[in-house]
């Protein structure tokens, strides 16, 4: 089983066990040597990589433009397995977000609009009330079924180069740690001391 298939299987197992991490990941970026990490919804896992939705108004977008190298961490409790996925981030074709954006919860859609109408994601505002009132105004002026996908909504793919797996679910606490490296479209495996 290659590491992507293993992650897909562990993720499905996590879903079957209602693991709240099943559809999440933790994405680390680095800008000028300053690390930053955040929780994101992991939208899809395919042979190509790991799909995420972000907003281009966020500071992480310019961080990604400067340095596409990223590490994603996955932790599945039931299978007791951690994955550290290293690779390069690329923007997906806008049609991907276009197809998916309308299925997002209303609150997420209005938040995406707020980044364009009130201020960029992660920027400062005077109070939470300002935000709540702004979104209420958007809802009144623009019914949910009339709003289009904002240009700042983006789909990104983390295309993996190296995946490190740590499986704690082994006898005598002798964990199984492997590094998978993608070389010429084939995953090569090396065993590591955990
Ligand atoms: C459970 C959970 C899921 C999240 N999913 C996303 C997501 O899919 N996309 C996103 O941009 N931010 C998501 N966030 C918020 C990010 O962690 C982060 O706070 C936000 O993207 C702003 O970060 P920035 O400093 O990179 O702009 C999520 C947070 C949590 C706790």
Same-domain check for residues 36 and 116: no
Same-domain check for residues 63 and 39: yes
Same-domain check for residues 126 and 163: no
pLDDT in tens, 70-122: 999 999 999 999 999 999 999 999 999 999 999 999 999 999 999 999 999 99
At residue 55, does pLDDT exceed 90? yes
Residue 184 Cα, ligand 1 centroid: separation in angstroms? 33
Residue 182 beta carbon below 6 angstroms from any ligand 1 atom: no
Determine the angle formed by the axes of helices 128-141 and 106-117, rounding to 10 degrees. 110
Structure tokens at 17: 């066990």
Range of the domain at 186: 3-102+153-192
Closest-CA residue, ligand 1 atom 3, reads 40
State the total domains in the chain.
2
User: Exposed, middle or buried by CB within 10 Å (0-12, 13-18, 19+), for 81?
Assistant: buried
Residue 116 Cα, ligand 1 centroid: separation in angstroms? 17
């Amino acid at each position: 089983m290659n590491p992507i298939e293993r992650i897909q299987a562990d993720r499905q197992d996590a879903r079957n066990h209602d693991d709240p991490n099943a559809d999440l990941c933790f994405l680390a970026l680095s800008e000028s040597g300053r690390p930053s990490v955040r929780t994101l919804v992991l939208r899809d896992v395919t042979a190509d990589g790991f799909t995420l939705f972000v907003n281009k108004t966020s500071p992480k977008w310019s961080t990604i433009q400067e340095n596409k190298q990223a590490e994603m961490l996955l932790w599945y409790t039931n299978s007791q397995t951690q994955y550290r996925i290293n690779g390069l981030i690329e923007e997906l074709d806008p049609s991907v977000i276009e197809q998916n954006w309308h299925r997002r919860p209303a609150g997420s859609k209005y938040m995406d609009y707020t980044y364009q109408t009130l201020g960029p994601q992660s920027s400062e505002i005077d109070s939470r009330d300002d935000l709540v009132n702004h979104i209420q105004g958007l809802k009144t002026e623009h019914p949910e079924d009339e709003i289009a996908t904002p240009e700042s909504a983006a789909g990104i793919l983390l295309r993996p180069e190296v995946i490190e797996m740590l499986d704690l679910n082994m006898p005598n606490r002798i964990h199984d740690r492997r590094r998978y490296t993608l070389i010429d479209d084939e995953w090569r495996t090396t065993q590591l001391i955990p």
